[in-house]
Structure 1
Amino acid sequence: MTNPATTSLLDRANLDRDQVRHEVARGLAGADDGELFLEYSQTEALMFDNGRLKQATYDTSQGFGLRAVKDDAVGYAHSSDVSVPALIRA
């Protein structure tokens, strides 16, 4: 079994690396520089009152950002939907 902490974020989202590479290249065509950011986070909080568990919360969030730079202009798109259609829209 693969350790979730070392799993690629692309693999976690079931994205094809070649398709992502193609869409990022298409999105950055003509740009001087650019980058794709991927984020995945899990948080868990336990609140105790007098030694007794009073509240427990758990949250998972993910998303991406695509940034392109051309001369002095910067374009940025982001989404919490990590999918190829969302990358195409970005």
Structure 2
Amino acid sequence: FFDLSGIDVSQVSVVINYDPPVTYADNPQPDCETYIHRIGRTGRFGKAGIAINLVSDDFALSVIQRIGDYFGVAIEPLDASDMDQLEAIEKDKF
């Protein structure tokens, strides 16, 4: 287990979520505040940045979609094998 809580780095350009944050209860729900705190570490002070969510199952996909709905934004899927898509993101964000 590795936790970076409390570390403040001003030059973060990429945040990778290995799993979406959820509340730990009998019925786990998306933890939108934790999500925004995590991705808020990227692109600070007018710098470009990107957040990548690794999704391994239907539950994680559902959580990410509900977080996007909560904030009113589309969290777009990324095909890591599509080099054109990756290059377009790099040109757009950096």
TM-score range, shorter chain: under 0.3
Higher helix share: 2
Higher strand share: 1
Greater Cα radius of gyration, structure 1 or 2: 1
Using the size of structure 2 for normalisation, the TM-score is: 0.26
